[in-house]
A and B are shown apart, each in its own frame.
Chain A
Amino acid sequence: MRAQRIAKLRSKEYRDAFVGSQISVGLPFQIRALREQRGWKQSDLVERTGMLQPRISAMESPGGTKFTLETLRRLASAFDVALMVRFVPFSELLQCSDEFNPDTFAVPSFAEDAALHAQKPEPRGITAPGMSGKPGLPFPAAKQDNMGLGNLIYNNTARQALAEQPTGSLPSAAGGLR
């Protein structure tokens, strides 16, 4: 499938359509997975987003709606998750598409974001020794993790491992492979 997809991406028209379908088809599965992960019904999402139920239903249907950034921001707020929007090479989009599995896709809310809460907060009121009358607080460790929060969340949640399963044999009832 991947080789076929790469061959198709040589067409500019298909490339543009691929970018669009990753949004129009891929996002509905993400939204439903996030909702079900939280044990919510569509009515719960209606309440949390302030959107109407038919709109929520359409957003969970492949191609059912045209998403705007404002809509996505409201959904991210309702799920209490971060939202990343950035330009990437097609190879990266293809990889994300390959790795996406609606059955295992899960994004923890802020409160449940263990990777975030495992980070030690930086001391407040940092001052250089001698710059104030108070005793100087220690500077943060010289070697800081330079990975931004967005990347941290992205790396820990968005890339889900795809559990490959071997393909089986054809059903005996079928008329045989060509």
Chain B
Amino acid sequence: MRRFLDYILPSGNNDIAAWYCRQSAECRASFDDLLDILCKKAIWSEPEFKRLDNGLGEIRWKSGGVQHRVIGCAWKNPPGYLLLIGCTHKQIVYSPPNAIQTADKRRRGILFQKEGSVCDHESPADCEASE
């Protein structure tokens, strides 16, 4: 069973949980289902996962006619995946446009213990209440 972690900003806020709560119910449910499946899947491959440069990868799905991505980094033994930033993708353009650079900066911040931290993946149930 693969473990998912969220990136925590230096301020202490969970940016992944905040991104999650900004999404539509359709997008949230799809993301939840995808993580449920991926946590049991031994080998990740396209189309639901794509390797990027610098040790990054992206979880990919479509909902509401929009291509969604969660960029992160994976490791083995025990298998895990750190969720670094959520974004959308259209043709070759990410939104936010610096999503990959931000993910890489966050990855290096964690890897070299410079800034940021991680926690077990949080998937808030009360997004509507917090809106």
Q: Answer whether A14 and B62 are a contact pair too, CB < 8 Å, given A1-B36, A25-B30.
A: no
**Distance between Cα atoms of A167 and B75 in the complex (Å):** 14
B1 nearest in chain A by CB position: A165
Which B residues between 16 and 70 are near A, CB-CB below 8 angstroms? Answer: 24-26, 28-30, 32-34, 36-37, 40-42, 47-48, 60-63
- Point out the residues of chain B lying under 8 angstroms from A61, CB to CB: 47-48, 60-62
B118 nearest in chain A by CB position: A174
Which B residues between 80 and 131 are near A, CB-CB below 8 angstroms? Answer: 80, 82, 109-111, 113, 116-120, 123, 125-126, 128
Main secondary structure of the interface of A (DSSP, over half): loop
**Distance between Cα atoms of A177 and B47 in the complex (Å):** 31
Q: Answer whether A101 and B40 are a contact pair too, CB < 8 Å, given A7-B125, A16-B25, A62-B62.
A: yes
A104 nearest in chain B by CB position: B40
Nearest-neighbour CB distance to chain A for B116, whole angstroms, equals 6
| Interface check B8, CB cutoff 8 A | yes
A176 nearest in chain B by CB position: B117
Q: Answer whether A17 and B26 are a contact pair too, CB < 8 Å, given A4-B125, A62-B48.
A: yes
Interface size on B, residues (CB 8 A): 43
**Distance between Cα atoms of A164 and B30 in the complex (Å):** 23
Interface footprint category on A: 35 or more
Q: Are A177 and B125 in contact (CB under 8 A)?
A: no
Q: Are B61 and A60 in contact (CB under 8 A)?
A: no
Give the contacting residue for A20; candidates B8, B29, B82; CB below 8 A: B29
Q: Could you list some 17 contacts between A and B, CB below 8 A?
A: A4-B123, A11-B25, A14-B25, A17-B29, A21-B33, A21-B63, A25-B34, A61-B61, A64-B47, A101-B40, A162-B40, A170-B118, A173-B110, A174-B82, A175-B117, A175-B118, A176-B117
Which A-B residue pairs are the 4 nearest by beta carbons? A168-B78, A63-B62, A7-B125, A17-B29
Binding site for A on B (CB under 8 A): 1, 3, 5, 8, 12, 24-26, 28-30, 32-34, 36-37, 40-42, 47-48, 60-63, 75, 77-78, 80, 82, 109-111, 113, 116-120, 123, 125-126, 128
